[in-house]
Amino acid sequence: MNKLSAVTTDVATVKLLIDGEFVASKTNEWRDVVNPATQAVLARVPFATTNEVNAAVAAAKEAFKSWRKTPIGTRARIFLKYQQLIREHMGELAALLTAEQGKTLPDAEGDVFRGLEVVEHAAAIGNLQLGELANNVATGVDTYTLLQPLGVCAGITPFNFPAMIPLWMFPMAIATGNTFVLKPSEQDPMVTMRLVELALEAGIPKGVLNVVHGGEDVVNAICDHADIKAVSFVGSTRVGTHVYHRASQSGKRVQCMMGAKNHAVVLPDANKEQTLNALAGAAFGAAGQRCMAASTAVLVGEAQSWIPELVAKARTLKVNAGTEVGTDVGPLISCGARERVEGLIASGVAQGATLELDGRSPNVPGFENGNFVGPTIFSNVKPGMRIYDEEIFGPVLVILSADSLDEAIDLVNANPNGNGTAVFTQSGAAARRFQEDIDVGQVGINVPIPVPVPLFSFTGSRASKLGDLGPYGKQVVMFYTQTKTVTQRWFDDDTLHVGVNTTITLK
């Protein structure tokens, strides 16, 4: 865990946010925030105490009393201001993200931007949090629904998108009238905290947004706390499954977006150059550390002959620190992540897959201590091999073969994960058949990473998702609200009152 004792150091310490104040934790457990390209220690992050978690939840519970009654227009204007502040600080946010996470600067800006889109969506909450009305359902009787906030909600976010995922969570929760406790990844919390500072500057009142840091103990405290009504999680399948069951057992609403094995099916009629570019970008971008990475290609028929050209394209990608101009593939988040990816590559060789391109131990002058793995490609991969069965979460593309579209669809559907998939073809009929028969929540047609914009909802499925409702879009408004149905009748003083009615019908 790379925890440290509380010792005097020149490195900055990351603060907690409790009841509108950034406060130093009183914990004795800390973790270094490390630049993955250099191993330089950037900051120390605390593992919050139980009392600190309880204080954050208590502040959120108290703030909910007034925030839930704040006019919807007031809430919307805060997020209008917030999106403006994020735009103004885009360069600063991207630089912070690159330093602690390792992404290239353009990819870091993309991370922030995709979160910004959800903030913009939150600013339209007046159009999203609408109920329904039926007039005169019986004589003089109207029925209508209200979408009311739940109370204190919480979010647990991963290391791979330290800007986007927090912005998926707390803006929509707060815009719908809830208060929020956020637990960012302990590996790269600095850009998240800067976004939180900007949120307060935009006008979020004290106690409405709170932040605690930590590991498993803090996660469990969030899952168990009686005053937290809903928990949103994005991360690994192992932790997500734990969060879902533990939080559900304590009566919370839970949504967990988890691991994946996303297949890109390539038909021989696809545009070769566009498809090869898409595969290389989707497999190796962000060093493969995306839950929506196209980590698995299924080449159908004659498309299997494209492997040498795909390897040649992957060789042109530049491996370097994310701060360096022209970098395509930055470092993995940690030494442990690099060792795990290298171990899975070794297992692929041992289990008989063909290593077409080996990205282990790349030469990166000036950054010899970085957590680098270059683009790696395996062919002749089959189910049962670890490199297929496990999510590698690194710049590794595994290639399987199929003789027909039907065989490719059966292969994808047999995999337990269902986060995303894509098909590359110039046949409308083939594309339509694929989208109809594929059992995966998010489908791209000539689009390698089919993450929807916030007008729609993120809809991963099967083993990639636990919980019925996804983050952002229309579904998340339902997740963060409860429906209250009101049936009303009013009588004028001179109205002839109806008599006693002993049935359940309205007349």
Element (H, E) at 183: strand 179-183
Residue 5 scores a pLDDT above 50: no
Q: Report the SS3 class of residue 155.
A: strand
The answer for residues whose C-beta is within 8 angstroms of residue 233's C-beta and 6 or more apart is 155, 156, 239, 240, 243, 244, 254, 255, 256, 257, 258
Sign of the four-CA dihedral 174, 176, 179, 182:
negative
pLDDT at position 9, please? 57
**Residue 8: band (very low, low, confident or very high) from pLDDT cuts 50, 70, 90:** very low
pLDDT at position 485, please? 98
pLDDT at position 495, please? 57
Residue 418 scores a pLDDT above 90: yes
Residue 285 scores a pLDDT above 60: yes
Pinpoint the alpha helices (H) of 229-368.
237-249, 272-284, 307-315, 335-350
CA separation for the pair 420, 425 (Å, rounded): 17
**Vertex 478, ends 474 and 481: CA angle to 5°?**
135
Is the CB of residue 61 less than 8 Å from the CB of residue 127? no
- Among 198, 20, 28, CA closest to 96: 198
Q: Amino acid identity, residue 396?
A: V
User: Which residue do the tokens 């914990």 mark?
Assistant: 27
482: Cα within 13 Å, side-chain hemisphere: 12
Query: Where in 8-132 does DSSP place strands (E)?
Result: 12-13, 16-18, 21-23, 30-34, 41-46
Residue 500 scores a pLDDT above 90: no
- Among 381, 196, 208, CA closest to 295: 381
pLDDT at position 498, please? 59
For the segment 219-228, the average pLDDT, to the nearest whole number, is: 98
The percent of residues in the chain predicted with pLDDT above 90, rounded, is 94
Q: Report the SS3 class of residue 485.
A: strand
pLDDT at position 446, please? 98
- Among 425, 265, 502, 114, CA closest to 106: 114
For the segment 207-221, the average pLDDT, to the nearest whole number, is: 98
Residue-wise pLDDT tens digits, 38-95:
999 999 999 999 999 999 999 999 999 999 999 999 999 999 999 999 999 999 999 9
Residue 470 scores a pLDDT above 60: yes
- Among 234, 82, 69, 59, CA closest to 152: 59
Mean pLDDT of the chain: 96
pLDDT at position 7, please? 43
Cβ neighbours of 201 (radius 10 Å)? 12
Q: Amino acid identity, residue 88?
A: E
CA separation for the pair 464, 257 (Å, rounded): 6
Residue-wise pLDDT tens digits, 121-180:
999 999 999 999 999 999 999 999 999 999 999 999 999 999 999 999 999 999 999 999
Pinpoint the alpha helices (H) of 89-189.
90-101, 105-122, 125-128, 164-175
What the block records as the tokens of 75 is 């809430």
pLDDT at position 1, please? 41
pLDDT at position 502, please? 79
- Among 213, 216, 217, 222, CA closest to 192: 213
Residue-wise pLDDT tens digits, 438-449:
999 999 999 999
pTM of the model: 0.95
pLDDT at position 460, please? 94
What the block records as the tokens of 361 is 């131990």
What the block records as the tokens of 349 is 């060789």
211 pairs with which residues across the strands?
A: 17, 182
Residue 490 scores a pLDDT above 80: yes
Backbone φ, ψ for residue 401 (5° rounding): -120, 150
Q: How far is CA 357 from the centre of its chain?
A: 30
Question: What's 290-325 look like in SS3?
Answer: CCCCCCEEEEEHHHHHHHHHHHHHHHCCCECCCCCC
CA separation for the pair 438, 418 (Å, rounded): 10
The percent of residues in the chain predicted with pLDDT above 70, rounded, is 97
Q: Amino acid identity, residue 248?
A: S
Residue-wise pLDDT tens digits, 92-126:
999 999 999 999 999 999 999 999 999 999 999 99
**Residue 504: band (very low, low, confident or very high) from pLDDT cuts 50, 70, 90:** confident
Instruction: Assign residue 454 a region (left: φ > 0; alpha: ψ between -120 and 50; beta: otherwise).
Output: alpha
Q: Which residues are catalytic?
A: 291
Eight-class DSSP state of 269: T
The answer for residues whose C-beta is within 8 angstroms of residue 163's C-beta and 6 or more apart is 93, 97, 108, 111, 112, 115, 191, 192, 195
CA separation for the pair 152, 165 (Å, rounded): 18
Q: How much helix, strand and coil, in percent to the nearest 5, is found in the chain?
A: 40, 20, 40
For the segment 307-311, the average pLDDT, to the nearest whole number, is: 98
pLDDT at position 6, please? 43
- Among 375, 378, 432, 421, CA closest to 401: 378
Residue 256 scores a pLDDT above 50: yes
